[in-house]
Structure 1
């Protein structure tokens, strides 16, 4: 068993960034399997192999808190036991585990905001005590971190869920605006949500965001992927660049929160593309609204849900051509022209 320990306690800034980066990685790990397979599996209804794969990729989404906690433990250079203790506490407080009349059930990814908070608290306790437990560490630490970190996380879960519900209500109000303005507002909101600690899929599902509102929201996420991937293409490895599309631009969450100026091009790009998607008549479902380009869920759903002439061309314009053009222009302006943003601002952490 790996029992390495951190050479020294990290400062609060470095500690916070490690928690944010680890949580972002956990989101990508949990969502990539479902994103890559959902459209393909839909072609085989009733097939037992497809059903088995669907079960697999659905269950792992509920383990988002475990993935995030283990990634945070790795980033903090904690031992396997320490990271596993953080994962225990985070999982029980994630909100993915619900109580039923017959026991317990897994239900979705849980509250990403509470996952991050619980991981932060639990990891903090581990960093403070893990070197002082001596030979009793294996016996004491799992129970202590589970009760303290998980207990506090369970107490904060209603509040964190209420925050997500409140944001969902704000998003729902935006659907009452005129179509183009609605597209701009929803594009911006979801462009911000996808790089925030909140779940874009959870909010879109909670308010049943459909139709052109879903298409606009999805376009905001798509262009956020393009913008951040294009901004960091020269400093990030190919896998990291592709992860913005195949996984989620949420991998940039730590960079976004550390450097708020990055939100400026994201807001500009998502507003433009959200409005364009609404003008082009792009539609979608609550599920596709929060996923963006990942697994081609957004574009393929728009192709199926949108009506009128030249649907394929309009989908290509809304989800590829316009986002690429916007990304190139924004990079030229913010990085090459005005030098307001550096490519290192979007550099992903090394594994």
Structure 2
């Protein structure tokens, strides 16, 4: 029996648990390929073994629907058989397995949004029947949760996929028509969203944000991370807090953001400027890299694989765009915002852990 079987959740609490659990699954699935995929691809001419290594990190990514389901189930502290049943339901709901001439084929990661939806439905069913199937748990959960919720996912898949494809196509088309303007918009949106409970990783994967749009989102996240880390430093927080922000823990600053929403103004400025650099300097990415900024060097490593200059020039560009420019820009905008515009103050960034 799960530890939280008797706990009641509001709709918002339930949804946030689903999102947070799905994000953990997505991160586990995409990180190996996001970091090593482009590197292995570029090194295949050096040694053919890198092609096999590249296949391995891609296979891990193909497990995303199952990992999403397990991540969501873990958020609700379900037991092992419940957790595995939710993972199976999410796998069915993702639609990433199709039969072609009688042969089952895995076609990508499937629809992540539908996998998240099915995971939530599966958890709800698991909690609903928990007290009623105690003696038949090993039969009930695979049958009702895995198969039942998975079947529901097959029904919702066409509609959810159409919606996510439409959003992705709109973003891609707008970015192609107005690359600088849309890059600014995407960078600002992602920079603001990272300061909320919403998962930017899940969003990027859901709408298949790639190319310049992915690069813009990535640079927007770099901007907000550097800005919040500098604010943490100015507020004289412990060094560990500031370092954790840089290493991917910028969401720890959510309480600060919601305590003073004016922080969004300088954040939008630095993110917008950084986002504009994506089309200018040809900073591109994948759906998997869009939501990571420079955490784990995912953004720079993926961007490098798309650059066409000489290796030295590419490295110089990446050093400037991922480190020198955002640091100088954020320090300037921060000090203007504090001393000139006076819309924020150092104390706004004091840790609220």
**TM-score interval (norm. to shorter):** 0.7 to 0.9
1:22 aligns with 2:27: no
Alpha-carbon distance in 2 for matches of 1:264, 1:128: 44
The more displaced of 235-244 and 182-191 is: 235-244
Structure 1, unaligned stretches of length 5 or more?
A: none
Give the corresponding residue for 1:132: 132
Counterpart secondary structure, 1:88: helix
1:275 aligns with 2:280: no
1:150-189, aligned counterparts within 5 Å?
A: 150-177=150-177, 180-188=180-188
Give the corresponding residue for 2:248: 244
Say what the alpha-carbon RMSD is for the aligned residues: 4.1
Alpha-carbon distance in 1 for matches of 2:41, 2:21: 31
Give the corresponding residue for 1:204: 209
Superposed displacement of residue 86, structure 1: 0.9
Alpha-carbon distance in 2 for matches of 1:227, 1:72: 31
Alpha-carbon distance in 1 for matches of 2:79, 2:334: 40
The change in CA–CA distance for 1:72 and 1:104 in structure 2 (over 3 A counts) is: same
Superposed displacement of residue 180, structure 1: 3.7
Structure 2, unaligned stretches of length 5 or more?
A: none
Superposed displacement of residue 67, structure 1: 1.7
Alpha-carbon distance in 2 for matches of 1:231, 1:97: 47
The change in CA–CA distance for 1:230 and 1:284 in structure 2 (over 3 A counts) is: same
1:207-218, aligned counterparts within 5 Å?
A: 209=211, 215-218=215-218
Counterpart secondary structure, 1:77: coil
Alpha-carbon distance in 2 for matches of 1:56, 1:165: 27
Alpha-carbon distance in 2 for matches of 1:315, 1:49: 28
Give the corresponding residue for 2:91: 91
- Decide whether the 8 Å contact of 2:26 with 2:64 is kept in 1: yes
Alpha-carbon distance in 2 for matches of 1:119, 1:232: 36
Q: Which has the higher helix share?
A: 2
The change in CA–CA distance for 1:182 and 1:9 in structure 2 (over 3 A counts) is: closer
1:8 aligns with 2:10: no
- Decide whether the 8 Å contact of 2:188 with 2:271 is kept in 1: yes
TM-score by length of 1: 0.75
The more displaced of 225-234 and 14-23 is: 225-234
The change in CA–CA distance for 1:340 and 1:126 in structure 2 (over 3 A counts) is: farther
Give the corresponding residue for 2:319: 316
Alpha-carbon distance in 1 for matches of 2:97, 2:243: 32
Q: Which has the larger radius of gyration?
A: 2
- Decide whether the 8 Å contact of 1:34 with 1:58 is kept in 2: yes
Q: Deviations over 1:139-172 (max 9, x none)?
A: 1221101232112222222222222222223213
